[in-house]
Amino acid sequence: MKKKRWAKISALVGIVGGAFLMVSPMGLLAAGIGANDQIFGSIFILILCTNLAIFCVALKSKLYYKGDDRVSKSVTNTFLIAGTIGYAPIFIWILGYIPFLNDLLYWLFSAVFSGQDAFSLLFLMVEFVAILSIVSGIGYGVSFKNFRK
């Protein structure tokens, strides 16, 4: 019988991580306007760590509750999608250090995102991950009633 522990952890990470991701772009904007590189870098690293935490917890909870009817599949899938979307830029950034992939990624992004502001794309991605994370965290919280003590 699977325990309620991962549902609690997933709910906490989903809601708290999503709430942080909702307000963090405003901190990036304020640091950018104030030209404070240290605060901008710190907030950016916190965003990356939050996305990584959401991805790791979502993957673990998806595998842990696989085949369990007490936690809805849509909740686990939504949380995993939020983690994957949040983790994708980190993975692409790591791939950029491979010499031939760096040129290919530069060509691809310049062709696809021509004329787009990088901050607006980051803002939309972070807000979308935040909304999905909060919704799935609430879904995990709702599933608490399905567990016996």
**Could you tell me the residue range of the domain that residue 112 belongs to?**
5-146
Residue 35 falls in which region: left (phi positive, over 0), alpha (psi -120 to 50) or beta: left
Residue 30 has what pLDDT? Answer: 84
| 108: CB partners within 8 A, 6+ apart | none
pTM: 0.83
> pLDDT 10s digit of each residue in the chain, 149 long?
578 888 899 999 999 999 999 998 888 888 878 777 888 888 888 988 999 999 999 999 999 988 888 888 999 999 999 999 988 877 777 777 788 777 777 777 777 766 666 667 777 888 899 999 999 999 999 998 888 76
Residue 11 has what pLDDT? Answer: 94
Q: How many separate domains does the chain show? A: 1
- Alpha helix ranges (H) inside the chain: 5-33, 37-64, 73-95, 99-112, 118-142
